[in-house]
Structure 1
Amino acid sequence: MTGLAVRDLHVTYPGTPPVEAVRGVSLDIAQGETLALLGPSGCGKSSLLAAVVGIVDASGGSVAWDGEDFARVPVHQRGFGLVFQDGQLFPHLTVGANIAFGLEMSGVGRAARAARVDELLALVGLEGLRDRGVTELSGGQRQRVALARSLAPRPRLLALDEPLSSLDADLRSRLAVEVRDILRAEGMTGLLVTHDPAEAEVMADRVMRMADGRLA
């Protein structure tokens, strides 16, 4: 199978006693599919996502993409994108500069960067806002910019960690549909973490529940 394969993954945080946040989770995500991990706060879903992306070290098990073991592949070489709850945009940069940041760091030329930024601004419905400061945007607009920035380098997989939870209920419902459509338009493989069953059902092709560090 092409795509993501997680096998018997464990995440343990040091302490007295140590905290085992993820306990032997195995799952697959096919290319072009979005999987939602659904569960309450503290169930281990964000730790699982972090271990897949590589920002947290797994204490056991494996993460592979297209059969390639990523155990010793650093986070910046995995080709995975990440969207956080608060977007984590650069407040001193414009919308366009935020979206282009990863491309610039990867050495993509100016013309190609500009073309990709224009493509993504149209995709996320922010045409005309390239030169706007991100601090001037609404919460929903900022999350669209964060999504566009993560999509810019065309990642293998996009991990979304409670990407809409800081927004009000009406906006969250509308953006859930928009984000789903954007991921499908890009042919993107997605791993979504959420505590909202309705959000999971709208945004994902498949939903798996987590409880106490395991898939329920």
Structure 2
Amino acid sequence: MYAGLVLFPLSHQANAVTASEQIHQSLSEAITHDLAQWQKQQDIKQLSHKFELRIPSSAKSLSPCNQALKVSPSKGLAYGRVQRKLSCPSESWSLYVRAMVSVTALLPVAKRNMQRDEIIEKADIQWRKLTLKTSDKYILTKESEILGQQVARKLRKNIPIRVSYLDSPVLVKLGDPVIIEAALPGFNATMAGIAMDSGKMEQAIRVKNTSSGKVITAYPIAKGRVETRF
């Protein structure tokens, strides 16, 4: 997620604390930093967290570090089971420390169970605070990413909405009557047609001009409307 090592300065005199305390402080700051970055990237308005560090017992025998510990960059999710390498160049020691990080976020969710092919409207959405699982890696965090989308697989209420659960809606279905819009500099025309394919926004489909019988390529731009491109 982040290139290079991250340095977290120690807030106490090196001789006043143990190596275990330094490790606890530095890793706590690193985890908090990662979560803040992730929250910003995901545009999550409210987020809380808690974590439990599992510092190896061997840390008790390490000499305190007289400089900022180096913390390896995170890999993968900022929450769940995480592992980071901490090292002290001045004392020539390093070790891996694990942590269990729990995150609760305010997210948009479905108010009701929704079936495949339903279109999500504003009345279908509510906001809830949810504790995330590691399987919630690719989730939608903004209403604008959800409203107007089509349910691709059954969506249960009050759970994080994953990207794979939604798809762009089908604007034109096979056999639908459509309005064909044609535009050139100084020229605009509309014609009636019949869709010979189903299509989503900006997806090329075949449309038959009702008057001429000619089959053309057109692109859905709204429900029941397509446009030609020259």
TM beyond 0.5 = no
The answer to which structure, 1 or 2, has the higher relative contact order (CA under 8 A, 6+ apart) is 1
- Structure of higher CA gyration radius: 2
Q: Which protein is richer in helix relative to its size?
A: 1
TM range (shorter): under 0.3
TM-score by length of 1: 0.20
Q: Which protein is richer in strand relative to its size?
A: 2
TM-score by length of 2: 0.19
